[in-house]
Structure 1
Amino acid sequence: MVAQIEKKSDRSGRERLVEQRPLYKATQEQLDALLKRHEMFRNARMGGARAILANYDLTGLNLAGRDLAHADLTGCILRRANLAGANLDCCTLFAADLREANLTGASLVKVDLRGASLRGADLTGANLVSADLRDGSLAERAADGSLKMVVVESDTSPADMQGAKLANANLSQAKLSGVVAQHTDFTDALMRGTKLVRANLRNATLDGAILEGADMSGADVRGASMKGAVLTGAVLMMTEMAGADMAGALTDKPAGKPASALPRPLEQMLKLHAEWVGTAGQGGLALDLSGYDLRHETCLSHACLTRLHAPGVILYGVDLSAAHIQVGNLRGADLRGANLSGCDLRGINLADAQLGNANLSEANLGYLKIDATRLVCSDLSGAKLRYANLSGARLVKADFRGADLSFANLLLADLKEADLTGARLSGTRVKREQMAEVTGFKVLG
């Protein structure tokens, strides 16, 4: 097939030579052979060869779970292709067409996606750390020294992410400056240090997104939903935010009473509370942290916080590892990204709390036995535990009614007699045998 060359005007009105480059249609069998040789190349085996698939048409083909790291897919057509779980690290996807492609759980670390179209693609849970998604156009130097633009036989738009799904994707340090991401789903996405300069995020969903240190200078987020998003340290110079829903969002401003408003230094209050617990209330003072914003505190690991009263407290990202918080009241608390590994949380009240991405591995959320007839069970009803790590946790008789456990890790957790009535379990990592004695969940077959 012969390439066609014609003159076209760019956005500034200047005329440039544009080459309509032909595509090479590959069958699944041909693709499998190329991928096999690439995997041999990646494993330094004799007969291997790097996959050079520039300008190939791979529409609808299956590349799920395959190793394509460092492959060249420049200008490749991958519409509706299945790339779920694929390794695309350091891959060149410059000006590629990935519309409606399945990239769920794929690894795209340092991938070159400049000028690529991801319209309608599903990148749920994908790893895009340090990926480059800025504008880009293919160009080659003609014989007379002038530049000619190169396009493939598709109608892709540069840096187009409209309608894409990037829920819980890791976009830390990624370059999205100038990207078009209207109506795009970034729910719970990790976007620390992401470059979003002049990005078009109108009407996008950024609920719960972690945008710490992100550069959103000149970005357009009008009409976007940013409920519960974290914007601490974000650069918002000239950012258009009219009509954006910022309910529950965390910024550099305190979201509750600041630590400076405490009646005593927190370290001193912790000592008094430990004395109160140790003397059954005869000495010391009970600790009340209701509504305080303590996300910068560093003295809570291994602390004695039994019977802590702290509904609505902000403990985002705080290290509470190995703390004792038995029968504590943290209803509606913000514990997203907090480290609660190894904590004794028996009988705790975490109803309606935010625990997305929190580490609760090996934590004890079972019941607390008061006497022969009385038990206090942990209450996590209505809690948001999306992507939380509950591996190896003790959850006996815990109340998870109406909780959101989507994509949470429950492997090796003890769920005996836990109540999961009405709980959301989409993508939850759990073994069938763990659910045998769970209330509100029917094990089929």
Structure 2
Amino acid sequence: MTATAGDTRYTKLNQTQVDVICTKHERLRAMKPGGARAVFAWCDLSGLNLSGRVLNDADFTAAILMDCDLTNTVLDTCNLYCADLQLANLSHASMRRADLRGASLRGANLSDCDLYEADLREGALALPDKQAGLSYVEISMRSSEATYANLRGANLERSKLSGIQAMKADFTDATMKSCKLIRANLKQCIMDNVDLAGADLSGADLSGASLRDAVLIGAKTDMWRTSQTDMTGVLTDKPQGTDVTNLPYGQMLRDHALWVDTLGKEGTPSKFDNADLRGLGSIKGLNLAALSAKGAVFYGLDMRGVQLQGAHLEDADLRNCNLAGADLRGVRMARARLDGANLEGANLGALKIDATRFLPADLRDTRMRNVNFTDSDMKLARLDGADISRSNLQGAMMNLEALEHTTCVALRGRIAS
């Protein structure tokens, strides 16, 4: 059953009534007099504006929220059981641990929405009866629906989506680590660059879907259906290129460090081009200046404080790497992928060659979506064609002119120019 405006079971509310209820809820949260929990159960709020409201723990059981403006609204741990959210705008909303069992999200905009540990499994709906109370129960379970929904960049980590109907939904760049998608209907979905590490896709139907550059490390895929599914560039547990565990990498790294420390008089520069370096686990704090690792896979490595001045990392996969405090002056990263990486406090400035020559960091055509650039130095970095959409630039030092040549949708934070 889908909720319908005008149904006699529902109480129709206007904007003024909703504003009063929201204000009382916020007063309750602030422990001020006159506060009361917001209860919108079995209410029709279709088309109303709740944007920016803080409504943690509010009750929206079976509520009609069709075409509502819920942008930037805080709905953490809310009860949205069997709610009708069709065509609602939930962009940048927070719905952490919300109960969305049996909810309808058909055509909703959930781009950049935080749905961490949200529950979107199926649910049965009990309807009120004046004489007998909650006597009538829907004969069949309602599956949560997200057909045609926009979930680009959403955080669905550890969420429960088993059995969800999400045909033709757009999950591009979404984080879906350890997500439960058992028997989910994901036909013709766009799941490009989605991180599904540790997800359970057992019995899921991804026929005709696109999973280009998706991460499936540690994912369960028993009896899933992938007829005509585009799996180009998918990263799995299987090593891509040369497996670093088959190389004497310990000696290679020691030789490279010696080569750097002695300015080339001793040791040998290491070369890890097209190697899968995930087996290293950590290269934290190592001095790997001028390292050559073109097209290498670094995914998820601990690289805090690493020194990679002047390193060649063109076309490398550095997604979800921790590069906090790394020295990346003059690094060559053209066409590399750093989606989800942590570059807090990293130095991406220019490398001084001599008194008159400087080598800027080359980040041209680099994909750096949802990256933490907090307090990083990118003043002289070359960013032509780079994609830094959804990234946090709080306190980052950047040349605003260089920023004009990037793709920068929904940036967060204040840039220190």
Deviations 1:241-297 (A, max 9, x none): 1111111111111122112221x1x23221110111122222111111111111242
Q: How many residues align?
A: 409
Pairwise CA RMSD: 2.1
Query: How many angstroms does 1:298 deviate by?
Result: 2.8
Query: How many angstroms does 1:163 deviate by?
Result: 1.0
Instruction: State yes or no: 1:226 paired with 2:211.
Output: yes
SS across alignment from 2:398: coil
Q: CA, structure 1 residues 368+51, in 2 after alignment: closer, same or farther (shift >3 Å)?
A: same
Unaligned 5+ segments in structure 2 are 2-6
Alignment of 1:254-273 (within 5 A): 254-262=239-247, 264=248, 266-273=249-256
Deviations 1:136-170 (A, max 9, x none): 2312597789952369xxxxx74110111111211
User: Which of the residues 397, 401, 406 maps onto 1:414?
Assistant: 397
Please name the residue that 2:222 is paired with: 237
Query: How many angstroms does 1:108 deviate by?
Result: 1.0
Deviations 1:104-140 (A, max 9, x none): 1211112111111101111111111121111223125
Instruction: State yes or no: 1:122 paired with 2:122.
Output: no
Amino acid at match of 1:189: A
Amino acid at match of 1:161: A
Deviations 1:36-57 (A, max 9, x none): 1112222333322211111111
Q: In the aligned structure 1, how far is the partner of 2:389 from the partner of 2:133?
A: 56
Instruction: State yes or no: 1:71 paired with 2:54.
Output: no
Query: How many angstroms does 1:360 deviate by?
Result: 1.0
Query: How many angstroms does 1:352 deviate by?
Result: 0.4
Instruction: State yes or no: 1:251 paired with 2:201.
Output: no
Q: In the aligned structure 1, how far is the partner of 2:300 from the partner of 2:106?
A: 33
Amino acid at match of 2:194: A
Q: In the aligned structure 2, how far is the partner of 1:286 from the partner of 1:98?
A: 57
Query: How many angstroms does 1:433 deviate by?
Result: 6.7
SS across alignment from 2:402: coil
User: Does the CA-based 8 Å contact 1:177-1:196 persist in structure 2?
Assistant: yes
Q: In the aligned structure 2, how far is the partner of 1:259 from the partner of 1:186?
A: 32
Q: CA, structure 1 residues 374+75, in 2 after alignment: closer, same or farther (shift >3 Å)?
A: same
TM-score by length of 1: 0.87
Instruction: State yes or no: 1:44 paired with 2:61.
Output: no
Please name the residue that 1:148 is paired with: 136
Please name the residue that 1:379 is paired with: 362
Please name the residue that 1:331 is paired with: 314
Amino acid at match of 2:137: M
Please name the residue that 2:268 is paired with: 285
Query: How many angstroms does 1:388 deviate by?
Result: 0.8
TM-score by length of 2: 0.93
SS across alignment from 2:397: coil
Unaligned 5+ segments in structure 1 are 1-7, 9-19, 152-156, 435-445
Amino acid at match of 2:86: R
SS across alignment from 2:343: coil
Deviations 1:165-184 (A, max 9, x none): 11121111211111111111
Instruction: State yes or no: 1:401 paired with 2:378.
Output: no
Amino acid at match of 2:89: N
Please name the residue that 2:170 is paired with: 185
User: Which of the residues 134, 140, 145 maps onto 2:121?
Assistant: 134
Q: CA, structure 1 residues 297+232, in 2 after alignment: closer, same or farther (shift >3 Å)?
A: same
